[in-house]
């Protein structure tokens, strides 16, 4: 049985990764699960300068999910290189750095400054960030911006570039096509869905940021549909995420066209969810007679 997934010039050992922002840098989960079993570890988002993040509280539970507005809190490039890279170098699983920014130049600066690090296997580019040079509109809502940003980053590295798409658009397929046209090696989708909770006692939003990103099982059907749409219009690998808690959830994504998946909020519920999901996928493949991940595709 072949569980590998090829992206650009590298190969994931299996299709199960852990999503950015839900797993820290791996060290936080090292005593709770087997990191060597991960198909990929997607790090917390990194920006050029440190960011303290949004005011507390940043999380609020919702039925079948949660809303977060973390504000891209992170240590910045310099501290990342001195404090995080040494640990990441000890890991045997592929490490994919999530990159964020407020301008094209900031995205480019992050990649330029860390690209020499062998611990970094690939980049996942968070294009849900607002572009301050275009009135604060998120990069990922405009195909022209997406293609231009992807082209800019493609010139800077020989490592794989994965563009992470927001679902908060009219047609996610157009955004995916723009990313591929710009030179992306893979697409990951979906990021969180915009949501809001109002505290009826205080008569104010439940978090100071007012709105945030909805994740968890509530968005799984949105993610599965997005993967189905995207996988039919691009030729590069598609990585599905959004609401995956169990192996059955992951299999839905794979059958819809995903080549790999990421577990996000599910890590908070079950810290070793990645191992359980991988074992479930393997059992499903044996029962179905599947020999490789591609066998999940083309059934509808």
Model pLDDT for residues 14-45, shown as the tens digit of each residue = 999 999 999 999 999 999 999 999 999 999 99
Residue 90 to residue 218: CA distance in whole angstroms: 35
- What is the rounded average pLDDT of the residues 69-80? 97
Q: Cβ distance 230 to 175 under 8 Å?
A: no
How many residues can be counted in the chain? 300
Beta pairing, strands 122-126 & 160-164:
parallel
pLDDT band at 147 (very low <50, low <70, confident <90, very high): very high
What topology is assigned to 5-296 in CATH?
A: TIM Barrel (3.20.20)
Domain positions in the chain? 5-296
Residue 272 to residue 159: CA distance in whole angstroms: 28
Q: Cβ distance 261 to 241 under 8 Å?
A: yes
Element (H, E) at 189: strand 186-189
Residue 162 to residue 225: CA distance in whole angstroms: 19
Cα 229 to chain centroid, rounded: 18
Q: Cβ distance 122 to 8 under 8 Å?
A: yes
Has residue 193 got a pLDDT over 90? yes
Residue 281 to residue 250: CA distance in whole angstroms: 8
**What pLDDT does 134 receive?**
72
Mean pLDDT over the full length of the chain: 97
- What is the rounded average pLDDT of the residues 269-292? 98
Residue 65: phi and psi, rounded to 5, are 175, -165
The residues that are catalytic are 129
- Global pTM reads 0.98
**What pLDDT does 65 receive?**
97
**What pLDDT does 136 receive?**
73
Q: Helix, strand, or coil here: 267? A: helix
Q: Which two tokens stand for residue 112?
A: 């330029």
Has residue 132 got a pLDDT over 80? no
Q: Cβ distance 217 to 66 under 8 Å?
A: no
Interval 148-180: pLDDT, tens: 999 999 999 999 999 999 999 999 999 999 999
């Amino acid at each position: 049985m072949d569980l590998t997934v090829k992206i650009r010039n590298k190969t994931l050992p299996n299709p199960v990764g852990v999503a950015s922002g839900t797993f820290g840098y791996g060290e936080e989960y090292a005593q709770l699960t087997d990191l060597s079993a991960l198909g990929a570890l997607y790090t917390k988002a990194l920006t050029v300068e440190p960011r303290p993040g949004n005011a507390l509280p940043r999380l609020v539970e919702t039925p079948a999910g949660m809303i977060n507005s973390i504000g891209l809190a992170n240590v910045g490039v310099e501290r990342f290189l001195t404090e995080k890279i040494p640990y990441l170098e000890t890991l045997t699983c592929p490490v994919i750095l999530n990159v964020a920014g407020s301008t094209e130049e900031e995205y480019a600066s992050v990649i330029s400054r860390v690209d020499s690090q062998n611990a970094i296997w690939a980049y996942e580019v968070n294009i849900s960030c607002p572009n301050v040079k275009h009135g604060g509109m998120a990069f990922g809502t405009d195909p022209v911006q997406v293609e231009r940003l992807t082209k800019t980053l493609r010139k800077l590295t020989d490592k794989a570039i994965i563009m992470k798409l927001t679902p908060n658009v009219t047609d996610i397929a157009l955004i995916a096509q723009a990313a591929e046209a710009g030179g992306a090696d893979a697409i990951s989708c979906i990021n969180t869905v915009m949501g809001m909770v109002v505290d009826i006692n205080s008569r104010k939003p439940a978090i100071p940021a007012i709105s945030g990103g909805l994740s968890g099982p509530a968005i799984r059907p949105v993610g599965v549909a997005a993967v189905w749409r995207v996988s039919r219009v691009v030729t590069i690998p598609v990585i599905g995420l959004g609401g995956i808690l169990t192996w059955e959830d992951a299999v839905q994504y794979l059958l819809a066209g995903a080549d790999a998946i990421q577990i996000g909020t599910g890590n908070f519920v079950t810290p070793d969810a990645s191992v359980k999901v991988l074992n479930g996928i393997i059992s499903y493949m044996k029962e179905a007679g599947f020999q490789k991940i591609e066998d999940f595709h083309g059934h509808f």
